[in-house]
Chains A and B, each alone.
Chain A
Amino acid sequence: GAVVSQHPSWVICKSGTSVKIECRSLDFQATTMFWYRQFPKQSLMLMATSNEGSKATYEQGVEKDKFLINHASLTLSTLTVTSAHPEDSSFYICSAIPAGAAKNIQYFGAGTRLSVL
Chain B
Amino acid sequence: GENVEQHPSTLSVQEGDSAVIKCTYSDSASNYFPWYKQELGKRPQLIIDIRSNVGEKKDQRIAVTLNKTAKHFSLHITETQPEDSAVYFCAASFNFGNEKLTFGTGTRLTIIP
Contacts and interface: CB of A to CB of B under 8 A. Distances in A.
Contacts of A46: 100-103
Interface in A22-61: 32, 34, 41-46, 49
B105 interface: yes
Nearest to A94: B43
B29 interface: no
Contacts of B36: 108
Given A41-B108, A42-B106, 15 more contacts: A43-B89, A43-B106, A44-B101, A45-B103, A46-B101, A46-B102, A104-B32, A104-B95, A106-B97, A108-B36, A108-B44, A108-B45, A109-B43, A110-B42, A113-B41
A32 to B, nearest CB: 8
B98 to A, nearest CB: 4
Which of B36, B96, B97, B105 counts the most A-chain CB atoms under 10 A from its CB? B97
B92 to A, nearest CB: 12
Contact of A110 (B43, B95, B104, B106): B43
A93 interface: yes
B46 interface: yes
A105 interface: yes
Given A43-B103, A46-B102, A105-B34, A111 B43 contact: yes
Contacts of B105: 42-43
A13 to B, nearest CB: 19
Nearest to B45: A108
A34 B96 CA distance: 16
A97 B98 contact: yes
A44 B96 contact: no
A4 B46 CA distance: 13
A49 B93 CA distance: 13
Given A109-B43, A110-B42, A110-B43, A104 B106 contact: no
Contacts of B49: 105
